[in-house]
Structure 1
Amino acid sequence: PEKILSAENTANRVELTTPQHVGYNTAFYTVVLFVDGDDLHIIEAFYPNEETFKKRRASVEKAIGEIQPHSWWVAFIPFI
């Protein structure tokens, strides 16, 4: 990627959003990695153009943020 638009990390989660060139257009890509016990979860979101990115970003990020780990100790980490 040419640059990073946003990056966040917490105890068990990393989120990264970058622009990507697709032909003459700019697309946007978000990847979220988080650990739940022994499992690594990968969530990817692809926005084919800037209009879609601006229109859908907030709802996609909200939905991703609502995904909670199943392990009780991983769910407890953000409160430490």
Structure 2
Amino acid sequence: MDKTFTYQELQKYNGKDGNPAYVSYKGTVYDVTESDLWKNGRHQNLHDAGDDMSLLIDQAPHGVEVFERELVKEVGKLV
């Protein structure tokens, strides 16, 4: 992926007002827009799109395999 995002840029991809929903994990940015689990930029009423999930994933009932799902696409790097 050639696209890079600063944290401030990532925050714009919050899944609201027609914006796509992106999250990052350990430096990689993922598009979760098509996932039903991220409707309107919210996941399980706990997490918001446009944020870094690196410290939060350990608290989730799932592991990092969620970033390998078909509807989740790698779109760039967090710098």
TM-score of the aligned structures, taking structure 1 as reference length: 0.26
Q: Which has the higher contact order (CA 8 A, sep 6+)?
A: 2
Instruction: Give the number of the structure whose residues are more often helix, by fraction.
Output: 1
- Between structure 1 and structure 2, the one with the greater Rg is 1
Structure whose residues are more often strand by fraction? 1
